[in-house]
């Protein structure tokens, strides 16, 4: 009998697969005490010029700056001036108010769809603050904070959400899939993970052209399972592209938890190790840590040190979108149990702790932000809301695709117009 005889496997165990299951389901009491949350200030900060491998211990650590006493501590403290801190806080508060009002607008039937980033506000807002205003972003649908932090008019955002007469994208994109070249905000694509190869390609082009601008690509934890994530990492590593690649790990991808994308086996930041790219794992609810990490990676990219993969560890506090009901797949109070806290409250507490803020100023700022969102909404609604759209200019749906409209589409256009489309 040969030693390759299949009968030798007689006593081998039956092959089995592991199907990851979230720790808690509706009705369970969420308990995150087994999560390893190192104290603020514990992670070392290597020089931005180190070899990628020297950052790899940081892919299992957690860069944190805001301590239990709400003070900034350790080598990652970006030592921001109070005005910058206050601007970040105002932007984060504005994002939250904007999200709440647009969520309500969807429930009132004024638009078909909305997506909030509640609990994740620090990430986009602090990343915007850390990069230069003409650096480019390839965002997903949860980085509205980039636009708000860069001063993009709230009315323009709402016009897009309502697909109204002011929508410069002419209703061709799903609500919230903004695009604005002037604000360095690439058109959002609903196809997950496309942002990574696009960002790497843009960064390579910037280098080929001898530009000094860098860019940042964004994906979620779930999207890292897409092939695009891995091809982008390969190109970024091979060509040492000047790019910052962010994985926002908010623990959920609609109703599937991060384990289904591989979080049980390794951190998302550890994906960097296999590609030989620098990697950082960062407390995404700590605006100062987010700022410091993006600033570090930006400096590295700008000085031709190459790409950095940053995992922002956070929690999606609300539903995936207005089409989702998370009570069907996770405990209702899971967001409250999340041990990294609320990013808005943490930044506010920091400003209070260093004596640069008080409750009255906070209330006045929040009221101002509320008024700004409310007045933008009023302006935008003058230009119409979604259910009213689409009748006045049906012919325009044939525009902007072909330089010369093919005959069959010309026919369809004439037919649509003669049916009273106007
Ligand atoms: C290629 C592709 N597959 C599936 C979807 C459907 N889809 C839209 S969002 C989403 C979840 C993405 O989760 P994650 O990447 O963690 O980002 P998050 O929504 O948590 O910010 C899925 C599966 C899609 N849009 N594109
Ligand atoms: Mg996610």
Domain, as residue range, for 403: 390-422
Exposed/middle/buried for 70, CB within 10 Å: 0-12, 13-18, 19+? Answer: middle
Q: Which ligand has the minimum distance to the alpha carbon of residue 193?
A: 1
Q: Same structural domain for residues 377 and 418?
A: no
Predicted confidence at residue 242, as pLDDT, reads 98
220 in ligand 1 pocket by Cβ < 6 Å? yes
Query: Is residue 402 a part of any domain in this protein?
Result: yes
Rounded distance between C-alpha atoms, residue 264 and residue 258, angstroms: 8
- In three-state form (DSSP H/G/I as H, E/B as E, the rest C), the secondary structure along 137-159 is EECCCCCHHHHHHCCCCHHHHHH
Total count of domains within the chain: 2
Query: Is residue 373 a part of any domain in this protein?
Result: yes
pLDDT tens-place string over residues 180-192: 999 999 999 999 9
Q: How many CB atoms lie within 10 A of CB 23?
A: 14
184: domain CATH number is 3.40.50.970
Predicted confidence at residue 422, as pLDDT, reads 45
Which of helix, strand or coil describes residue 218?
A: strand
pLDDT confidence bin for 2, thresholds 50/70/90: low
Which of helix, strand or coil describes residue 186?
A: coil
Predicted confidence at residue 420, as pLDDT, reads 60
pLDDT confidence bin for 1, thresholds 50/70/90: low
As given in the structure block, the two tokens for residue 8 are 């030798």
342 in ligand 1 pocket by Cβ < 6 Å? no
pLDDT tens-place string over residues 248-278: 999 999 999 999 999 999 999 999 999 999 9
Phi, psi of 30 (to 5 degrees): -65, 140
Q: Same structural domain for residues 311 and 394?
A: no
pLDDT tens-place string over residues 216-231: 999 999 999 999 999 9
169 in ligand 1 pocket by Cβ < 6 Å? no
Q: Same structural domain for residues 398 and 289?
A: no
Predicted confidence at residue 390, as pLDDT, reads 72
Residue from 220, 251, 263 to probe ligand 1 pocket by mutation (most atoms less than 8 Å from CB): 220
Query: Is residue 4 a part of any domain in this protein?
Result: no
Q: What is the mean pLDDT of residues 60-77?
A: 98
222 in ligand 1 pocket by Cβ < 6 Å? yes
Q: Same structural domain for residues 373 and 399?
A: no
223 in ligand 1 pocket by Cβ < 6 Å? yes
| Lowest mean pLDDT across 4-18, 298-312, 326-340 | 4-18
Q: Same structural domain for residues 336 and 404?
A: no
As given in the structure block, the two tokens for residue 192 are 């997950």
- Ligand 2 centroid to Cα of residue 3, in Å, is 48
Query: Is residue 8 a part of any domain in this protein?
Result: no
Q: Same structural domain for residues 152 and 244?
A: yes
pLDDT tens-place string over residues 363-406: 999 999 999 999 999 999 999 999 988 777 788 888 888 999 99
- Look at the pTM and tell me if it is higher than 0.85: yes
Q: Same structural domain for residues 304 and 411?
A: no
Residue from 223, 229, 255, 261 to probe ligand 1 pocket by mutation (most atoms less than 8 Å from CB): 223
Query: Is residue 17 a part of any domain in this protein?
Result: no
pLDDT confidence bin for 419, thresholds 50/70/90: confident
- Ligand 1 centroid to Cα of residue 219, in Å, is 9
142 in ligand 1 pocket by Cβ < 6 Å? yes
- The proportion of the chain whose per-residue pLDDT surpasses 90, expressed as a percent, equals 92
Phi, psi of 93 (to 5 degrees): -65, -40
- Ligand 2 centroid to Cα of residue 248, in Å, is 7
Q: Same structural domain for residues 303 and 395?
A: no
Q: What is the mean pLDDT of residues 75-80?
A: 98
pLDDT greater at residue 66 or residue 3: 66
- Check: CB of residue 203 under 8 Å from CB of residue 215: yes
Q: Which ligand has the minimum distance to the alpha carbon of residue 255?
A: 1
192 in ligand 1 pocket by Cβ < 6 Å? yes
- Ligand 1 centroid to Cα of residue 140, in Å, is 10
Rounded distance between C-alpha atoms, residue 300 and residue 47, angstroms: 9
| Lowest mean pLDDT across 64-68, 196-200, 393-397 | 393-397
Residue-wise DSSP of 77-96: -----HHHHHHHHHHHHHHH
252 in ligand 1 pocket by Cβ < 6 Å? yes
Mean pLDDT of the chain: 96
Residue 219 alpha carbon, nearest atom of ligand 1: 15
- Check: CB of residue 400 under 8 Å from CB of residue 183: no
Q: Same structural domain for residues 95 and 215?
A: yes
Q: Is the pLDDT of residue 196 over 60?
A: yes
323 in ligand 1 pocket by Cβ < 6 Å? no
pLDDT confidence bin for 63, thresholds 50/70/90: very high
Q: Whose CA is nearest to atom 7 of ligand 1?
A: 192
Q: Is the pLDDT of residue 311 over 60?
A: yes
Q: Same structural domain for residues 156 and 246?
A: yes
Query: Is residue 3 a part of any domain in this protein?
Result: no
Burial state string for 317-348 with b = 16 or more CB within 10 A and e = fewer than 16: bbbbbbebebeebbbeebbeebebebbbebbb
Which of helix, strand or coil describes residue 406?
A: coil
pLDDT tens-place string over residues 147-162: 999 999 999 999 999 9
Q: Same structural domain for residues 172 and 211?
A: yes
Predicted confidence at residue 192, as pLDDT, reads 98
- Ligand 1 centroid to Cα of residue 251, in Å, is 12
116 in ligand 1 pocket by Cβ < 6 Å? no
- The answer to whether the Cα torsion of 131, 133, 135, 138 is positive or negative is positive
Q: Same structural domain for residues 400 and 278?
A: no
| Lowest mean pLDDT across 4-13, 137-146, 299-308, 365-374 | 4-13
Among candidate residues 243, 231, 234, the one with its CA nearest the CA of residue 204: 243
Query: Is residue 34 a part of any domain in this protein?
Result: no
Query: Is residue 14 a part of any domain in this protein?
Result: no
């Amino acid at each position: 009998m040969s030693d390759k005889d299949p009968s030798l496997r007689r006593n081998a165990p039956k092959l089995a697969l592991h199907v990851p299951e979230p720790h808690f389901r509706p009705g369970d009491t969420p308990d995150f005490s087994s999560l390893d949350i190192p104290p603020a200030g514990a992670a070392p900060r290597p020089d931005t010029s180190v070899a990628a491998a020297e950052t790899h211990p940081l892919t299992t650590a957690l860069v944190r700056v805001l301590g239990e006493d709400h003070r900034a501590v350790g080598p990652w403290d970006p030592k921001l001036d109070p005005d910058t801190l206050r601007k970040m806080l105002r932007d984060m508060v504005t994002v939250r108010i904007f999200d709440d009002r647009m969520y309500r607008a969807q429930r009132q039937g004024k638009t078909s769809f909305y997506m909030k980033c509640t609990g994740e506000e620090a990430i986009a807002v602090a990343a915007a603050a850390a990069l230069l205003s003409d650096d480019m972003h390839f965002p997903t649908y949860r980085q509205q904070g980039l636009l708000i932090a860069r001063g993009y008019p709230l009315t323009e955002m709402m016009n897009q959400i309502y697909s109204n007469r002011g929508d410069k994208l002419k209703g061709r994109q799903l609500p919230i899939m903004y695009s604005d070249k002037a604000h360095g905000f690439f058109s959002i694509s609903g196809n997950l993970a496309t942002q990574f190869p696009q960002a790497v390609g843009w960064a390579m082009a910037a280098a080929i052209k001898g530009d000094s601008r860098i860019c940042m690509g964004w994906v979620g934890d779930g999207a890292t399972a897409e092939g695009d994530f891995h091809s982008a990492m390969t190109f970024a590593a091979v060509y040492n592209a000047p790019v910052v690649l962010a994985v926002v790990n908010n623990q959920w991808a609609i109703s599937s938890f991060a384990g289904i994308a591989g979080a049980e086996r390794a951190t998302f930041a550890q994906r960097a190790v296999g590609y030989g790219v620098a990697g950082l794992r960062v407390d995404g609810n700590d605006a100062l840590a987010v700022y410091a990490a993006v600033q570090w990676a930006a400096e590295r990219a700008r000085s031709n040190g190459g790409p950095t993969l940053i995992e922002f560890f956070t929690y999606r506090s609300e539903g995936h979108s207005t089409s989702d009901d998370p009570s069907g797949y996770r405990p209702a109070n899971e967001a409250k149990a999340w041990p990294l806290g609320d990013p808005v409250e943490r930044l506010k507490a920091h400003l209070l702790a260093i004596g640069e803020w008080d409750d009255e100023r906070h209330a006045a700022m929040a009221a101002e932000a509320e008024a700004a969102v409310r007045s933008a909404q009023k302006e935008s609604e003058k230009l119409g809301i979604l259910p009213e759209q689409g009748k006045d200019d049906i012919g325009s749906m044939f525009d902007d695709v072909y330089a010369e409209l093919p005959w069959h589409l010309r026919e369809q256009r004439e037919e649509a117009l003669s049916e009273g489309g106007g």
